[in-house]
Amino acid sequence: MLTTTLLDSAATAGELLRTGKLVAFPTETVYGLGVDATSSQAVARLFEAKGRPSDNPLIVHLHSAAAWHQAAREMTPSADQFLQAFAPGPLTVVLPRGNSIASDVCAGLDTVGIRIPKCQLAREVLRVADRPIAAPSANRSGTPSCTTWQAVVEDLDGRIDAVLMGQVSAVGLESTVVDCCGEVPVLLRTGAITLEQLQSVVPSTRGLQHDSDEDRRRKSPGLNHPHYQPRAQVQLFANEDQLQQLLDHADGAVAVGRVVVGKDAELHAIGPNATSDLSRRSSVILSQEFSSVEAYAQGFYEFLRQADRRSAAVVFLQLAPATGIGVALRDRQLRAAGTKNH
Ligand code: TXA
Ligand code: MG
Q: What is the mean pLDDT of each run of 10 residues along the chain (342 residues)?
A: 93 98 98 98 94 91 97 98 98 97 94 98 98 97 95 96 98 98 96 98 91 77 77 94 93 91 50 63 91 96 96 96 95 89 51
Q: Which of 35, 174, 227, 340 to mutate to test the pocket of ligand 1 (most atoms within 8 A of CB)?
A: 174
Spacing, Cα 161 to ligand 2 middle (Å): 19
Bridge partner list, 91: 176
Measured CA to CA, the distance from residue 50 to residue 137 in angstroms comes to 9
Closest CA to 94 of 184, 201, 176, 179: 179
Ligand 2 center–CA 141 separation, angstroms:
7
90 alpha carbon to ligand 1 midpoint, in Å?
11
The strand ranges marked E within the chain are 5-7, 23-25, 32-36, 59-61, 91-96, 111-115, 133-134, 162-164, 176-179, 186-189, 233-237, 254-259, 284-290, 314-318
Check if 190 has its Cβ closer than 6 Å to any atom of ligand 1.
no
- Computed from CA positions of residues 207, 259, 237, 171, in that sequence, does the dihedral angle turn out positive or negative? positive
- List residues bridging with 314 in a β-sheet: 233, 254
Q: Identify which of 319, 298, 296, 316 has the alpha carbon closest to the alpha carbon of residue 307.
A: 316
Tell me, in angstroms, the distance from the centre of ligand 1 to residue 60's CA.
8
The pLDDT assigned to 269 comes to 47
Q: Which residue's CA is minimally distant from atom 3 of ligand 1?
A: 175
Which residues contact residue 17 at a Cβ distance below 8 angstroms, ignoring those fewer than 6 apart?
Answer: 23, 34, 35, 36, 125, 128, 129, 131, 133
> Per the omega criterion (within 30 degrees of 0), is the bond before 88 cis?
yes
Residue 295 to residue 304: CA distance in whole angstroms: 14
In this structure, which ligand is nearest to the CA of 229? 2
Distance (Å, whole) CA 275 – CA 287 = 9
What is the pLDDT, as a whole number, of residue 65?
97
Ligand 1 atom 13: residue of nearest CA: 136
Contact 222 CB / ligand 1 (< 6 Å)? yes
Minimal CA–CA distance to 233: which of 213, 206, 259, 252?
Answer: 252
Ligand of minimum distance to the alpha carbon of 222 = 1
CB proximity list for 203: less than 8 A, separation 6 or greater: none
Does ligand 1 lie within 6 Å of residue 146's CB atom? Answer: no
Which residues, listed in sequence order, are joined to residue 33 by a DSSP beta bridge?
24
For the four alpha carbons of 321, 288, 235 and 309, in that order, the dihedral sign comes to: positive
Cα 188 to averaged position of ligand 2 atoms, centre (Å): 14
pLDDT of residue 276: 57
Is 65 a pocket residue for ligand 1 (Cβ < 6 Å)?
no
- The alpha carbon dihedral of 220, 222, 226, 228 has a sign of negative
> Any alpha helices (H) in 108-239, and if so which ranges?
120-129, 149-156, 195-201, 213-219
Kindly give the distance from the C-alpha atom of residue 281 to the centroid of ligand 1, in angstroms, as a whole number.
Answer: 40
Decide whether any atom of ligand 1 lies within 6 Å of the 32 Cβ. yes
Q: Are 235 and 334 in contact (CB under 8 A)?
A: no
